[in-house]
Amino acid sequence: MRAAPYTRLAGVYDAIMGDVDYDDWVTFLVDEATRRGYVGGPILDLACGTGNATRPAVARGYDVEGLDVAPAMLAVARARLPDVTFHEGDATALALPRRYALVYSVFDALNNLLDDDAFLAMARGVHAHLVPGGVFAFDANTRAGLRDLWGGRAEGWAGDVYYRWTHRYDADADLATVEAHCDGPDGPFTEVHVERPYDPADLRRLLTAAGFADVDVVTYPDAAPASDDEERVWAFASRPA
C-alpha cells in the first residue's frame, strides 16, 4: 500500500527511531544556543514530528511548543506530551501567536524543503517569530551525506516492525529519494520521501539572506567549523538584537 509521507509512518516511527540520540542532540543544541546568547525563554521545536526532540527539553523544564505539518505525527506527539502545545502548520508559512527565544529543528527535518524559495520562506518566518537576540538551531544532511546514505539501503527489525528503506540520489536534480517500506501490526505500506541537501555554504547564504547574523555551521559533538565533506552539519544563527 502506497501512503502519503508521514501518515502511516507515524504509527511505527518511534519504534524504528528508538536508537536515535535525541536527548544528546537537544542538549547539544541548547548548550550551543546558550553560548550564542540564549538565556532561557520559550522554545519552538520546528517540524517536531512525534515529539522525540520536544520531550528532552520539556524534561529539563523549558517552556516548549511544537509545530509540524503532518497530523498523524502530531497525534502521536500530543498523546505522548498532553501538556505541551502542538501546532499543525507548514514551516514555510509560520503564523503563531507568540515569539520564541530559541527555535530548533532536528534529524534533517529541514531537508524536506526542496528549493531555495521554500528554505527562505521558512527561515524568514523563523526570524519573524524570534525575539531580538533569539537563536535558530538545526541540523541538515549535506550532499556528501545524501550521496552515501546507508549505502543505498537500510533494513532490519524494530520490535515487531520490519523496515526496508532504499535510497537514491539524483545529482542532476540535487535531490535524494527514500522509499520507506514498513510492515508492522497494522500491515505493510510504503512511503516515498524526498530531501534536498544543504552544504555549509548553502546554509550560510540562505540564513544571511533571511536576515540572520552570526551564522555558524559546525560539527557534532565538538562544534568545530564544518568542512564541505561532512555528512551532517549543525547550523546556529541569531536574530540581531
User: What pLDDT, in 10s, does the model give residues 217-241?
Assistant: 999 999 999 998 999 999 999 999 9
Q: Are residues 172 and 220 in the same domain?
A: no
Q: Which residues are CB-neighbours of 222 under 8 A, at least 6 positions away?
A: none
Q: Are residues 35 and 68 in the same domain?
A: yes
Q: Are residues 100 and 176 in the same domain?
A: no
pLDDT at 9: 97
150 pLDDT more than 90: no
Cα angle for residues 222, 226, 230 (degrees, 5° grid)? 100
- The pTM assigned to this predicted structure is 0.97
Q: What is the pLDDT of residues 159-171, one digit of tens each?
A: 999 999 999 999 9
- Kindly report the length of the chain: 241
25 pLDDT more than 90: yes
When divided into structural domains, the chain yields a total of: 2
Q: Are residues 154 and 132 in the same domain?
A: no
CATH of the domain at 164: 2.20.25
Q: Are residues 153 and 65 in the same domain?
A: no
155 pLDDT more than 90: yes
Closest C-alpha to 207, from 171, 240, 231, 232? 240
Pair 12, 184: CB distance under 8 Å: yes
Structural domain of 108: 2-144+197-238
| Grid coordinates given for 98 | 507568540
Q: How far apart are CA 16 and CA 49, in angstroms?
A: 14
Q: What is the pLDDT of residues 44-70, one digit of tens each?
A: 999 999 999 999 999 999 999 999 999
Which of residues 93 and 1 earns the better pLDDT score? 93
| Grid coordinates given for 164 | 526496508
Q: How far apart are CA 23 and CA 60, in angstroms?
A: 10
Q: Are residues 222 and 150 in the same domain?
A: no
Identify the bridge partners of residue 5 per DSSP, sorted by sequence position.
Answer: none
Q: Are residues 11 and 102 in the same domain?
A: yes
Q: Are residues 132 and 166 in the same domain?
A: no
Q: Give percent of the chain with pLDDT exceeding 70.
A: 100
Q: Are residues 116 and 137 in the same domain?
A: yes
Q: What share of the chain is helix, strand, coil (3-state, %, to 5)?
A: 30, 35, 35
197 pLDDT more than 90: yes
1 pLDDT more than 90: no
Q: Are residues 126 and 226 in the same domain?
A: yes
pLDDT at 56: 98
Q: Are residues 30 and 108 in the same domain?
A: yes
Q: What is the pLDDT of residues 71-112, one digit of tens each?
A: 999 999 999 999 999 999 999 999 999 999 999 999 999 999
Q: Are residues 171 and 221 in the same domain?
A: no
